[in-house]
Amino acid sequence: MSTQQQEPEPQEPESQESPEDPEMKGAESPQNQRLKEKEQGLAQEETVDESDLEGETVHIKVFRYDPEVEGKQEPRFDDFYVPFEKGMTVLDAVMYARDEYDSSLTFRHSCRQAVCGSDAFFVNGKQQLGCKTQISDLEQPIRIEPLPHQEVVKDLVVDMDHFYDQMHAVEPYFQQEDLPDGDLEEQRQSRENREKVKMSTRCIWCAACMSSCNIAAGDNDYLGPAAINKAYRFAMDEREDEEIKEHRLRIVEQEHGVWRCQTQFSCTEVCPKDIPLTEHIQELKREAVKKNLKFW
Amino acid sequence: MSQSYNRGLIEDFGRWKEFSAGMWAWIFHKFTGWMLIGYLFTHIAVLSTAIGAAAGDPTLIQQETDVYTTTIQGLESLFIVRVLEVGLLAVAVFHILNGLRLLMVDLGIGLSAQDKSFYASLVLTGVITVASVPTFMHGVGF
């Protein structure tokens, strides 16, 4: 049923073999002391949390709307009181509400570990992944709504078509045909280049950024942070030829591309995978300028 | 999707206080920008009407009774104008500081500290504004 967070095992550090060097295992070593203090601090925090919420119920208010059911055509909020367990996430809470109280409560979810990107909700006024957001971090009652600026299909399910259209518009796939010189049968990437695109590859297509973006809300043609990040991921990949990179830049430098971004940092704030979206958009802006203005 | 429901006000209303630093910076930047444009045109209108076509008479300037001098002196004697001057300075200083912040953002420098630089520009604006009050309010209560 609900995912239970693994209890941290206090014995674990002791079961590890301690090094022979007395300085390395000495209890006086500053690192050890810091670790102990940190552990104690964590333990204290946990006990505080438990005493706060142990045996209590969590009050969630969930957005309900269904165009096909007579009584749900006018959107409303339903209240659910879900028993709290340690490590409970927002997704766990709505799953409990669905399983125990109202089986018609509809939302998307799949992997429940922040990989599939299907359960981005608007939780207490912020776009967050349901499976990655701890109940204990939130103020109650917890208001759970579908993503703003996307049309609601039913309850917490929004229409993702437009988001996917924008994602596909930047051709989010590797386009290099030729193999490098030499006898390599594969297109290898340098470690430095991999490091450069690392953060941008983490996108899980959850649409939280698109939903938080003020510009995307007002301009339906705007590519949106996720799509531009995708374009960045491939434009910065050195394995693709220069012409392909120019082709990618031509896509993002259009009227509704990177120049629409006004650096409000909303997307970077909400990204559940901590992708520095604004940074990537800004870098593509500079690349686009460099491509068009050549004084050297 | 014709069947889906437009959430209308539920979506847009009452969200303003849930903004984060970057959004506040953007809103203040727009606001101060429009204020400065408004000031610019008021400034041009007031001064150009004050000059007058015949106000180049050197004797009047000597006696400090020409239209320009009297207009400026009249304005400066008003308490509200002094207050507005302090406000103008605050608006301009914030716009300059946040403009520098945006320049850094455009150059890709320190994007992870963008919220801190916004708070810093707010604090600095406050400090400069408060420090300017004795100068601007000289002769009208200070």
Domains of chain A: 57-157 (3.10.20.30), 161-174+190-292 (1.10.1060.10)
Minimum Cα–Cα distance from A69: chain B residue: B3
Which member of A68, A75, A264 has the closest CB to residue B23? A264
Region of poorest pLDDT, from A97-111, A153-167, A177-191, A278-292? A177-191
How does pLDDT run across A214-234, given as a tens digit for each residue? 888 888 899 999 999 999 999
Distance between B4 CA and the closest CA of chain A, angstroms = 5
**Displacement of CA B123 from its chain's centroid (Å):** 15
A269 touches chain B (CB under 8 A): yes
Confidence at A13, pLDDT banded by 50, 70, 90:
very low
pTM: 0.78
What pLDDT, on the 0 to 100 scale, is given for residue A53? 54
Which member of B1, B105, B108 has the closest CB to residue A151? B1
Alpha helices in A54-105 (DSSP H): 90-96
Q: Do A126 and B18 touch (CB under 8 A)?
A: yes
What pLDDT, on the 0 to 100 scale, is given for residue A296? 61
Which member of B10, B11, B111 has the closest CB to residue A279? B111
Whether residue B120 is predicted with pLDDT greater than 60 in this model: the reply is yes
User: Is beta strand A126-129 parallel, antiparallel or unpaired with respect to A152-154?
Assistant: unpaired
Going by CATH, does the domain composed of B20-136 fall within 1.20.1300.10? yes
Chain B positions touching A268 (Cβ under 8 A) are 22
Confidence at A203, pLDDT banded by 50, 70, 90:
very high
Whether residue A185 is predicted with pLDDT greater than 90 in this model: the reply is no
Q: Do B4 and A153 touch (CB under 8 A)?
A: yes
Query: Which residues, including other chains, have CB under 8 Å from residue A3's CB and lie 6 or more apart?
Result: A87, A89, A92, A112, A113, A131
Whether residue B54 is predicted with pLDDT greater than 50 in this model: the reply is yes
Region of poorest pLDDT, from A24-38, A263-277, A280-294, B111-125? A24-38
Distance between A266 CA and the closest CA of chain B, angstroms = 7
Distance between B110 CA and the closest CA of chain A, angstroms = 9
Report the distance separating Cα B96 and Cα B105, nearest Å: 14
Chain A positions touching B115 (Cβ under 8 A) are 265
Looking at residues A235-245, what average pLDDT do you find?
A: 91
Q: Do B23 and A214 touch (CB under 8 A)?
A: yes
User: Is beta strand A142-145 parallel, antiparallel or unpaired with respect to A57-64?
Assistant: parallel
Question: To probe the interface with B, which of A149, A157, A263 has the most B CB atoms within 10 Å?
Answer: A263
What pLDDT, on the 0 to 100 scale, is given for residue A187? 85
How does pLDDT run across A44-87, given as a tens digit for each residue? 655 555 555 556 899 999 999 988 888 888 888 999 999 999 99
Q: Do B4 and A152 touch (CB under 8 A)?
A: yes
Report the distance separating Cα A36 and Cα A31, nearest Å: 9
A266 touches chain B (CB under 8 A): yes
Alpha helices in A17-89 (DSSP H): 22-25, 30-53
By C-alpha distance, which of A174, A169, A176, A175 is closest to A254? A169
Place of tokens 């990655």: A132
Whether residue A194 is predicted with pLDDT greater than 60 in this model: the reply is yes
Is the ipTM higher than 0.85? The answer is no
Confidence at A107, pLDDT banded by 50, 70, 90:
very high
What pLDDT, on the 0 to 100 scale, is given for residue A12? 46
Confidence at A267, pLDDT banded by 50, 70, 90:
very high
Distance between A40 CA and the closest CA of chain B, angstroms = 31
Q: What's chain A's average pLDDT?
A: 85
How does pLDDT run across B68-105, given as a tens digit for each residue? 778 888 888 888 999 999 999 999 999 999 999 999 99
Tell me if residue A186 falls in helix, strand or coil.
coil
Domain ranges for chain B, please list them.
Answer: 20-136
